[in-house]
Amino acid sequence: MMNRSLRSFGAFCLLVGSLASSPASFAHSPVDFLEVIRVKPAQTIVHGVETKSRYDSERKESSLEGPDYFSRGIGAMKRAVKIPRAYMNWFAIKDATPQPKREVDVLDMVRGASSKRLQIGNAEFLISPSQLLTSGVPDAVPEGLDIYTAYQIHDGGSVELKLDIESSLGKGKATVGKPIYLCMPTEEWHHDETFPVTHPNDCFVVYEIDEQPTTSTFSTIDQFGINELQASSVKWICVRAAFLRDKSK
């Protein structure tokens, strides 16, 4: 009963952040940049959900395990952190259906208009909005923050761009390397709850950065309940983006 109550509370929190919608656009995004942190959960979640992204002809069942990573909104490129701050938990997809390689045109804030095309393959993670638990009431999930599926990027060229960032480690510089994942909005069915996609043309491109160690322990709540996470390193950076067009290979 307790676990189901926590799941229901997590689902309610997600709905608060995603019920209201606005026309899909590049400018609306609730978060510009997120750091991606490797974590070890106190309780590993193994759970099945049904999902459907723009590349699925019908909803399918996915077996999730994690969270393996945690994201939080950060400031970069002279853009301050958006409030309420976005938090997300990354769950590995254990039985992902093999996908054909596709070429996708995506405009993001790092590569710009000169290099838009990406080649993507299999789904690897489901990324769920979460809330950071502190002594007070947690911040609401930002409006327009969907659930996302992270697809592998193949043969992405390294950007080698230095960014001024303000992350959980403080102010500093990060060297952006090659793109490794494209995160696209995904509709999800979990128990009796449905989480629709509110902004289908929005996405994130995940880039490698210089890995930095970190040691912190914190708790989050998401659709699967409350979990304590132990951070070990900051590995990647997510950059907001928008789909232009795509085609199957």
What's the pLDDT tens digit per position in 49-99? 999 999 888 999 999 999 999 999 999 999 999 999 999 999 999 988 888
Helix (H, G, I), strand (E, B) or coil at 46: strand
Q: What is the pLDDT of residue 247?
A: 56
Block residue for tokens 């043309």: 201
DSSP 224: T
Q: Which residue has the higher pLDDT, 170 or 13?
A: 170
Cα 69 to Cα 27, 191, 230, 240, 243: the distances in Å are 26, 24, 10, 18, 24
* pLDDT-based confidence at residue 219 (cuts at 50, 70, 90): very high
Burial category of 56 from C-beta neighbours within 10 Å (exposed 0-12, middle 13-18, buried 19 and up): middle
Q: What is the pLDDT of residue 224?
A: 96
Tell me, what amino acid is at 27?
A: A
* pLDDT-based confidence at residue 137 (cuts at 50, 70, 90): confident
Backbone angles phi, psi at 8, to 5 degrees: -65, -40
Give 72's strand partners: 35, 87
Comparing 12-16, 88-92, 125-129, 142-146, the range with the smallest average pLDDT is 12-16
Residue 238 belongs to domain spanning: 2-248
DSSP 181: E
How far is the C-alpha of 107 from the C-alpha of 244, rounded, in Å?
Answer: 7
Structure tokens at 80: 């301050």
Q: What is the pLDDT of residue 28?
A: 63
pTM above threshold 0.85 = yes
Q: What is the pLDDT of residue 96?
A: 86
Q: Check whether 8 has a pLDDT greater than 60.
A: no
Average pLDDT over residues 100-111: 92
How far is the C-alpha of 206 from the C-alpha of 133, rounded, in Å?
Answer: 25
How far is the C-alpha of 64 from the C-alpha of 239, rounded, in Å?
Answer: 24
Comparing 44-58, 155-169, 234-248, the range with the smallest average pLDDT is 234-248
> What's the total number of domains in the chain?
1
How far is the C-alpha of 188 from the C-alpha of 147, rounded, in Å?
Answer: 8
